Structures are given as structure tokens and as C-alpha cells.
Chains A and B, each alone.
Chain A
Amino acid sequence: MNNSLLRKIRITLSIIFVIPTTFVLIDFTGLLPESAINGIIYFQFVPSLLKSIIVFSFLTTGFILVLLLTIFFGRVYCSTICPLGFLQDVVNYISRKIKNRKRRFLFKKENKILRWTFLVIPVIIFLFGSSLGIALLDPYSIYGRVAGNYFRPVYIFGNNIAASILESFKMYWMFPFEIHAFNLMPFLITTLILGLVIYMSFTNGRLYCNTVCPVGTLLGFISRVSFFRIQIEKEDCLNCGVCAKDCKANCINSDEMSVDMSRCVACFNCVKSCPTDGIKYKLANPLQFNEKKKLDESKRNFLIAAGIYLSALSTVLGQVKKKIVAKKESTVPIFREYAISPPGSISIDRFNSKCTACHLCVSACPTQVLQPSFLEYGFFGMIQPRLDNLAGFCNFECKICTDVCPTGAILPLELGEKKLVQLGKAKFVKENCIVETEKTDCGACSEHCPTKAVHMIPYQNQLLIPEVREEFCTGCGACEYACPTKPYKSIYIEGNPVHQLAKLNLENGVPQKEVDFKEEFPF
């Protein structure tokens, strides 16, 4: 195949993948149906793998295709499908322009210990019931958070400017979107990780992919023996080292005429750069590799020790569940013992063990009730989404988070089922309530309640005051969101650590009769 063509195909494919992936991660209009979103995220390795562990189906087979692709073609995933790979290539491109130097990489030895540590530790933490390690390192999830924290606000800002211009011409087909919440800590965590990734790619090309990324390590393990490999033609090679200097994966040893295929991300820059066509991407002799296969004893011991240490740490830290303080000015402060996890997550523990915090649900949620958490779930649920009833409330007719979740942390629900899932229970704080403090009617909570779990009962002087019937409550948080008292709400949702089933409200089941006024008007 034409040498520069390979590179062009790679770049084209990566753009074809990154645009829709980014779009679903920043879209706030609900433009694409759930099936399209599922299709776009289908190839993302970690979500697909996790979902397969939970609910294997045709829709979750993306990771198998990626494995097959890798067996045949090497780590093409990293240069085409992976959105974080694309982001790093952009940083690389900028770095090249700034440094004004075209060839600037050097062959570096593989850091095996680090690579395997970054793969093994998240897996061990995962086995002990937390997906935090995976959430922090999975490239798709990192990209999801970067898109949500950085690209989405820019997109919304642009949209709002355009909408306001159109609005002045009385055109309303675009609409402004107000961001209801900003979560500082999750934002800082995202920024920190993004900063590290950018720094690594700015200075060392695909260092993240080849040393930190657990997907890179796993696929690299396979790509060492892939059918197609980058190969140096001994007869044509001049040992000039141009390919090595152009290799952002730092994996070409020009002196020894060898390519470390476990780190090669199949970008084909080397193929293009070689002056003598001495480096080619072609079918390899399956028996040929230039690597020692032994993993020496000390490294193995290190991994085991690190694993044990971390899993012990995880059990200890797992006990630390922080109490959330809802926003405060009425007199009685509100302490929530448990955060509220999304419908379909079944329980907080289960959710914490499956979610990689890609924030796809956060961007798909039409009411903005889903917000990244900090310590609301405790340390090991960090940056995973929770229901924040100060930002919005869970729409009774909506279940989009259950449809889009790529990892199975939020399982699909039928709308009828979803309407009976009890995420938490409403708790009424009478001392803060307007009816009690001001002696005037309010009832905003009951007004918003979709099941009338919060209803109004007679109070002094013909006033009405809310009463909660917990059995009908779904924990949607509409009451809490609508409650106008400041700074403390007068009604709030206490999360259910394990979701329960709400009762269908059949009270007053007697149907109303048809009224026929005939000739008799009541006025």
C-alpha cells in the first residue's frame, strides 16, 4: 500500500470517530436518539468491556472487535477510535508547530513496571468493588470528562450567543441553555489529569498511552504478536534514525532495527518519513519478535505487593462516606446520609463499582440533575455522577441515562419500571417550611410531586401544609428543587443506599363522574 496513504486513512478515521463521540459528550439538546449514542460509543473499549461483564449482549461486543482489530492490525484503536489519542495528537501537532521542529522523538526503553502497575492496580481496586482506578485512567472516560468540563461550556456559550442573536430577530428555533451547577472538585480533578496528559504528550508524544493507559498496555500485550506489524527492512535501512525521531510512541530502535510493537500505536508516521522505504507495515512472520518474554521475579513480587497494599487501602478508605450538606439560610441545616444514585444503578455500592465517570449521562440528562460528585459517595465514588436536586430534578417521564450508559453502571429500564424505582425518600423539615414560618400558603413541593407522595393536608387557619407519604415517593427530588426556602430547603431527599420499589399511588381510585350542566349553569 502507498505509504503516505496509510497515515491519511488513519487521520481520516480518527476524525470520523472523534467528532460524533465528542458531540454526544457535549450535546445538551437531546438531538440524537439513544440508539445512535449507543452506536457511537460502541467501540470504546473500557465501557464495552465493563458492560459485557454485567450484561453481555450484541450491543456490548465492541471490545471484542477491538481485540480482533488489534490481533490483526496492532493498536489501531489508539490512533483512530480512542478520543484521548486524538486529543494527544492535536497537542503533539501544536507542540511540533511551537517547537518548530519536525523530528524530535527518541527511542526510549519501555517502563514495564509502571505499565503493568497502572493496569493491575485499577483491576484490583475494581475487584474490590470500586471503579475509581479505571475511572481515573480509562482514556475514553478521561476524554468524556474533558469534553464535559471544557468543550461543553464553550459549545453552550456559542449556542447561547447564536440563540440570542436569533432571538432578537424573533426566531426561536435555537434556544439558550443555562448551566445550573458547577462542581469545583470534579472540575479540578479533570483539569489535573488533563494537565498531565497534555504535558506528557507535549513533551513525549504518546507517553500516556505507552506507560499509563491500561487499555494501551492491554492492547499492547496483543499487538506484539499482531499479524500486521511495522517492520524494518534490513536491506533498505540506513540506520539514519529518521523514523525513530518521528515516532511519537518512542518505540523504534533504529540502531537495533527493531520496533516495539507493544507500544506502537499504528500512526504510520515512520512509514511516511523513511527516505528509503525501509520501514513498512506488513504481514509478519508470527514467530518473529524481538522481545524477551520473561517477566522477572522482582517485578512480579512488586506487583503483588502493590496490589495487596492498595486493596487494603481501598477497604479502609471505602469506610469513609462523607455526609453531604445541602445548600444553606432557613434555620435547620440538612444533612444527607446517602447521596442519590441514578435510576437503574440498583444500589450505591453497585454503581460505585461499575461507573467510569465518563459523564455521558451528565450531558444527556435534560434536567441537569445528574452532576459529578466529589465525596458525596465517599472516596471511591469520586467524580461519579449523582442526583443533585439543587441543580434539577429527575424528570418522571425520562430515562435517558439508563439508555445511554455505556458501562452498565446504569442499567436500562422500561419507563414503567423507572417510575416505580425509589432512589430515595423525601424528608420534610417543618421548621423551615414557609407555611410554618410565614403562615402563608406555598405548596411548591406538592405541586411538583409526580406521584403526590408529597400532598397537602389542612393546617391552622385554613392553610395547607405538606405531608410526605414515603411509600409513594420515587426520590426524584422535584420537591427539593422547587422548595423556595433559603438557605436550607424544607424538604429534601435522603438517598436509598439500595434502591427500593415505590408503591403505585392508587389512593382516591374512584373515578370522577362526568358532569353535565345541561341548562343549569352553576353561575
Chain B
Amino acid sequence: MLRKTRRLLLNRILIPELGANTNPKLVGRVVQHCFDAGAKEVYVFDHTCDDWRRCYANSGIERAVKEAKGTMVPGNSESFYKEVEVKKGKKLTKAKVHELILDCDVFINVPILKHHSSTRLTINMKNLMGIVWDRGYWHRNNLHQCIADFATYDRKPDLNIVDAYYVMMRNGPRGVSKADVSTMKSQIISTDMVAADAAAAKLFGAEPDTIPYIKYAAEMSVGRIDLNSLQIKRIIL
């Protein structure tokens, strides 16, 4: 039984057609489903790169969440973040994680699939940079390894929902114009971040093991990169 449910999203800028942030309609629907499943409270937040108030508003996510009776929570202040140990981490052994992640009953990760200038792709594991405080440390200390390291942290998302409706194919993670976006009308849902990332990479047209952090995470047994060994339900509507 769900008592409280919380999700996170990575939400950078602007309108859904630009494919920079998770589609507000999807976010709103997930919140609704959480309540339908008996959640008492549903919280949504992201540690945004840009000014968080503008991101929440401009992305349309704030409105969608409010309409679904969920609560938008700020992620802008270090005071929200509590230090945790990442026991299996090679480069990242400690991280400051948003308090909501630490005491929620259910944690749902809802990233958008998009091109990323340095990590190649933003999917599930990359999206978790939105629940930690000091991202500069990750950038300084082998970004790909840190992303894989944090994926080993005990409090993993209970569910990952990858929005691949509008997919930014270049100029990510912010995008320059609509011309960067391809319409794929797809979605990947999994409890395994690595498997979902591998599948999403394939949607994008990339081999999963060419994305270093997916490869590292698979090697550290966070999840499975070999999609052939998995049971996948492929649904066409």
C-alpha cells in the first residue's frame, strides 16, 4: 500500500515540443495514477540547472502537477539535501541527496530521453543528477563513473518511466530549436535503470555499450545491459 509517493523529473527549460524536459502531461498523469493507487501525498521536484522557479513554471510541469493535486517542492537549497554514503562507488563515495528521496515510500523517476553534449544521452541514471546537490564534484571526478556510482546507491527508483515522445536528437541537453527534435511517440517503463537506459539508447540509435556510464553501471551489476536476456513487453497502440 502506498502511503506517500514521490517522483522526480529533470526539468530544464521551456515547452514540451522542444524536448528539453519531461512532458507535463505525462508528469500530471503519473501523479494522478499515484493518487488512484492510494498515495496520500505526491511530491515532485528537481534540482534544476536554471532558475528553478522559471523552470517549474515555463516547463508547464508546475501547473500539471497542481492540477493533479500533487505538490511541487523546491530543490534549490542545500538545506534540503542530506549526506549519504555510496558504498559501492569507485569515484563517488558520498553524495548529498534530497530529503524527500530519503523518506518517501515510493520513488518514481520520470526522465526524458534526449541528447546530451557531454554524457551523450540523458536517460534514467543521468537524471538522478537532479536529486543530488554537488554536481560539480561529478563533473570534476570522471562524470561517467560518478553517474554509474550513484546508480549503485541503495535508494534506487522503484519505477523508471522514460518519456520518448519528443526526443531531442542534437544540441542537448537544452536544445536550440524545434528542428533538433524528433517525434518518436514512445515510452519505456522499467524497474531496472540500466535496462531502460539501454533500450532508450537503442531508440535514440546508439549502442548502449558506447555510452560509458551505461557500460560502467552494467559492469557494477546495477542492472542488465543485455536486452535479449530480458522479458520485454512491447506494446503498440
Contact = CB atoms under 8 A, between A and B. Distances in A.
B183 A444 contact: no
Contact of B117 (A456, A506, A515): A456
Main secondary structure on B side of the interface with A: mixed
Interface stretch (B24-32, B68-76, B82-90, B154-162): B68-76
Contacts of A167: 79-80
Contacts of B58: 397
Contact of B137 (A449, A484, A509, A521): A484
B118 interface: yes
Nearest to B170: A508
A371 to B, nearest CB: 16
Contacts of B177: 506, 509
Interface in A177-208: 177-178
A346 to B, nearest CB: 24
Interface string A493-523: 0000000000001111111111111110111
A517 B184 contact: yes
Interface stretch (A70-78, A233-241, A267-275, A434-442): A434-442
A175 B77 CA distance: 8
Interface residues of A, number: 55
Q: Is the interface on chain B under 10, 10 to 19, 20 to 34, or 35 or more residues? A: 35 or more
B78 interface: yes
Contacts of B72: 172
B13 interface: yes
Contact of A440 (B74, B142, B227): B142
B71 A172 contact: yes
B117 A446 contact: yes
A452 interface: yes
B181 A450 contact: no
Given A176-B77, A508-B180, A456 B174 contact: no
Contact of A448 (B43, B49, B54, B182): B49
Contacts of B80: 167, 176
A442 B143 contact: yes
Contacts of A447: 49, 116-118, 173-174
29 contacts: A30-B53, A170-B41, A172-B72, A175-B74, A175-B76, A176-B77, A178-B76, A395-B54, A398-B51, A441-B118, A442-B139, A443-B139, A443-B143, A446-B118, A447-B118, A447-B173, A447-B174, A452-B174, A455-B171, A464-B118, A484-B139, A506-B177, A508-B171, A511-B178, A515-B167, A515-B183, A518-B236, A519-B236, A523-B227
Q: Which 6 pairs from chain A and chain B are nearest by CB?
A: A443-B118, A484-B136, A512-B182, A175-B74, A446-B117, A440-B142
